[in-house]
Amino acid sequence: MNHPAIKEGRVALVTGGASGIGLAVAQKLRTQGMRIAIADRDEAALSEAAETMNGEVLTVLTDVSELAEVEALRDRVIDEYGEIGFLMNNAGRGFGGGAFSSLNGWQQVLGVNLWGVIHGLQTFTQLMIDQGTPCAIVNTGSKQGITNPPGDAAYNVSKAGVRSVTESLAHELRNIEGCQVTAHLLVPGFTYTGLIKRHIPEKPTGAWDPEQVADYLLKKMAMEKFYAICLDNDVSTELDNARILWNTNDIIEERPALSRWHPDYESEFNEFIREHAS
């Protein structure tokens, strides 16, 4: 069983699709008989991706932080294939900066992670609605955009923005009469992608492969779910839910921001986790 947009002969476009989760999703959709286009700003990775798919893919060099390049991507895919049934705004980068440091890092991370998604939505959504066919838009978020852990504020903000705009997208689409486009938020767990490989040469036992994330996403979409919050080999659904609930309750309980990492709340947090995630 698949989402109705995933069908032989339909077209799937994945940004950041030359490696990692994006490539894994593209390859899975190719096995479903879809025609594939992948966009990435890494030309060498695009060439390698095309080889892994035996050349049965349209590759387009694209920097999603630039609206003109995303619009050129749209024109190229439409000229080649005539329609788009599945759009995955997946291009991303990390290591932006702290709350008051690394302005250039902030600009780069927000440019790709958040503005890249916004550019994709502005460029493709109305086109997909007007096609009058079942379509799906997937935006790649992160658990860091939900729980906001210390360490990379720029990345967290970018992914929190992706979550917010995707929720708004889903609501807007749902309220358009006759609209056959659905929105979905992919939230990967610990996944062994190229970004991780640069720092950890061997896959940690706790990490999922990108192919597992792709399978989980397609499963959730087939179930008509908006959120695809992935697990990994170390974190259960119950633990994920407990962490998210604690973080949300910071507002209601008027605790200090990010109290999960505040030493005064360590024992209370651990007790909460034992109660809710066991």
Q: What is the pLDDT of residue 67?
A: 98
The domain locations on the chain are: 11-234, 236-278
Q: What is the pLDDT of residue 172?
A: 98
Q: What is the pLDDT of residue 198?
A: 79
Helix, strand, coil shares of the chain, percent, nearest 5, are 50, 15, 35
Q: Which of 155, 192, 216, 265 is catalytic?
A: 155
Q: What is the pLDDT of residue 23?
A: 98
| Whether 155 is catalytic | yes
Global pTM reads 0.96
Strand order in the sheet with 11-15: 58-61, 35-40, 11-15, 86-89, 135-140, 181-187, 227-229
- Residue 134 has φ and ψ, to the nearest 5°, of -60, 125
CATH no. of 11-234: 3.40.50.720
Q: Is the CB of residue 40 less than 8 Å from the CB of residue 63?
A: no
Distance CA 187, CA 37 (A): 22
Q: What is the number of residues in the chain?
A: 278
- For residue 51, how far is the Cα from the chain centroid? 24
List the pLDDT tens digit at each of the 278 positions of the chain.
899 999 999 999 999 999 999 999 999 999 999 999 999 999 999 999 999 999 999 999 999 999 999 999 999 999 999 999 999 999 999 999 999 999 999 999 999 999 999 999 999 999 999 999 999 999 999 999 999 999 999 999 999 999 999 999 999 999 999 999 999 999 999 999 877 887 888 999 999 999 999 999 999 999 999 999 999 999 999 999 999 999 999 999 999 999 999 999 999 999 999 999 98
